[in-house]
């Protein structure tokens, strides 16, 4: 008998081990990798885990940018790897994490339960076999829930997937992910880049990027996105700084992938702010497309032609390749400019997020204490007698309100207008100085 069921104790979730690398690569290839990672704001270029497993396992014990590269969980059912999830922190504070990779396969689990009774003919105990189908939706939900519960410092989760991915989109929606923005990837052909490079860019205050400019780039990043995306990203000035070890890691990546990164920003001297920033990833051998990450202040959208002219001139010094650029639905001026220069849409994705503030118990496990009297909660805390309320009366002579206490609780004579001492009695006049 086969029946679909939610995963229970039959599914074991553990960390990635060396024996799982072959299965990990096979399952990971089933995930659509058509989204360009170099130009994305959410995704990043993944490292070949099978090739650098030993080095990454050693680096996870030290504070470095690669210590979370092996944050991979494996779902195992019936001694078979049937699901994998890979996560990584999105910002330096660790308050926002992203789902880099999630894949799951349906698996059939067979349970054999022996009964205590004996058969009258054979004299042996009977055994019932139950076959349970654990679907990919259940496995994916189990992997996501496990990440939400184990990574406690994550307050927000973020991911990006293709809009036509009908397998994982219902899975993420089922686990609380909501759309944040729609992303469009564009590609500019080499011929069009040459036409753009013919224009002389008008950027008098173009400066190189350093760690001293992290606060300026942080302000520009906050101004270039809506409040909801800003809250989800939760970036800080530390996110725009590169440590010494981080710069070494970037140099190694560039040497291995035969790429080079050029970045710069436009400074406004009157307002003392950065109004545009770009980071171009260039291919030295021409084996892959160039990509650029762009941020422009909403009040200076006329800078798009100038910045793109500067980027096109930079790409002209390298092998001829197309240029990939990303635009969100809150970048109407950027999309209008890309359509005007003849760029082509190559991918359309959806950025989704989920808050885990409600990871606290949503249902009460014990009766509420709101309707219980205080005396029942603390038996010794009982009032000795019922309080006697006072009376507020209006004196017609003074036309003022005063509170009159009950006579049986009165400890001091009541002061009225008739018995009130005069100012002369409270402060008697002093005798004049005898010397005068």
Distance from C-alpha of 70 to C-alpha of 16, rounded to nearest angstrom: 8
Q: Which domain holds residue 325?
A: 181-359
The yes-or-no verdict on residue 17 having pLDDT over 50 is yes
Do residues 169 and 283 share a domain?
no
Average pLDDT for 367-392: 54
Rounded mean pLDDT of the chain? 79
Question: In terms of domains, do 160 and 206 share one?
Answer: no
Q: How many CA atoms lie within 13 A of 407 on its CB side?
A: 0
Please give the residue that has the higher pLDDT: either 77 or 274: 274
48 pLDDT exceeds 80?
A: no
Same domain membership, residue 220 and residue 192: yes
Average of pLDDT values for 44-72?
A: 77
Give the per-residue pLDDT at 364.
42
Any domain includes 82? yes
CB atoms within 10 A of CB 343: 22
- pTM, two decimal places: 0.74
User: What CATH code is carried by the domain that includes residue 147?
Assistant: 3.40.630.30
Contact status, residue 181 vs residue 229, Cβ threshold 8 Å: yes
Distance CA(146)–CA(421), nearest Å, equals: 78
Asked whether residue 391 is assigned to any structural domain, the reply reads no
pLDDT-derived band at 2, boundaries 50, 70, 90: very low
Distance CA 111, CA 128 (A): 8
Question: Same structural domain for residues 162 and 211?
Answer: no
Q: Could you give the 3-state DSSP secondary structure of residue 264?
A: strand
| Token pair listed for 221 | 């990043």
Q: Under a CB-based contact definition with an 8 Å cutoff, are residues 230 and 206 in contact? A: no
Q: Are 296 and 221 in contact (CB under 8 A)?
A: no
Overall number of domains in the chain: 2
Q: Which residue, of 117, 146, 173, is where some domain finishes?
A: 173
Asked if residue 415 belongs to a domain, the reply is: no
Question: Which pLDDT score, from 0 to 100, does residue 363 have?
Answer: 38
CB 313 within 8 A of CB 297: no
Same domain membership, residue 328 and residue 224? yes
């Amino acid at each position: 008998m086969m029946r679909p069921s939610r995963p229970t104790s039959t599914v074991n979730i553990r960390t990635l081990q060396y024996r799982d690398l072959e299965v990990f690569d096979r399952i990971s290839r089933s995930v659509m990798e058509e989204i360009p990672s170099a130009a994305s704001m959410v995704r990043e270029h993944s490292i070949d885990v099978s090739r650098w497993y030993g080095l990454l396992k050693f680096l996870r014990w030290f504070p470095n940018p690669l210590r979370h590269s092996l944050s991979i969980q494996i779902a195992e059912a019936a001694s078979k790897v049937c699901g994998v999830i890979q996560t990584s922190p999105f910002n330096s504070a660790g308050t926002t994490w992203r789902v880099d990779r999630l894949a799951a396969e349906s698996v059939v689990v067979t349970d054999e339960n022996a009964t205590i009774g004996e058969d009258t003919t054979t004299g042996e105990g009977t055994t019932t076999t139950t076959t349970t189908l654990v679907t990919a939706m259940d496995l994916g939900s189990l992997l996501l829930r496990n990440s939400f519960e184990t990574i406690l410092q994550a307050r927000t989760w973020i991911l990006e997937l293709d809009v036509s991915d009908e397998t994982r989109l219902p899975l993420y929606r089922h686990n609380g992910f909501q759309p944040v923005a729609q992303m469009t990837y564009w590609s500019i052909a080499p011929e069009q880049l040459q036409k753009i490079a013919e224009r002389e860019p008008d950027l008098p205050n173009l400066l190189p990027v350093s760690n001293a400019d992290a606060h300026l780039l942080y302000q520009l990043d906050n101004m270039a996105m809506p409040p909801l995306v800003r809250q989800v990203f939760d970036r800080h000035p530390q996110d725009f700084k590169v440590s010494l070890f981080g710069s070494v890691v970037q140099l190694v990546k560039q040497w291995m992938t035969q790429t080079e990164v050029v970045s710069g920003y436009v400074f406004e001297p009157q307002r003392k702010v950065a109004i545009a920033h770009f980071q171009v990833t260039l291919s030295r051998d021409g084996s892959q497309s160039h990509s650029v990450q762009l941020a422009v202040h909403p009040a200076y959208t006329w800078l798009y032609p100038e910045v793109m002219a500067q980027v096109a001139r930079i790409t002209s010094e390298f092998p001829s390749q197309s240029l990939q650029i990303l635009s969100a639905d809150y970048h109407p001026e950027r999309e209008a400019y890309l359509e005007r220069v003849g760029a082509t849409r190559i991918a359309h994705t959806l950025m989704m997020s989920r808050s885990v503030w409600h990871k606290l118990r949503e249902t009460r496990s014990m009766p509420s204490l709101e309707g219980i009297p205080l005396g029942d909660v603390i038996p010794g805390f009982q009032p000795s007698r019922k309080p006697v309320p006072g009376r507020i009366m209006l004196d017609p002579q003074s036309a003022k309100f005063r509170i009159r206490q009950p006579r049986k609780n009165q400890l001091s004579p009541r002061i009225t207008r008739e018995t009130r001492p005069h100012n002369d009695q409270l402060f008697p006049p002093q005798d004049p100085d005898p010397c005068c």
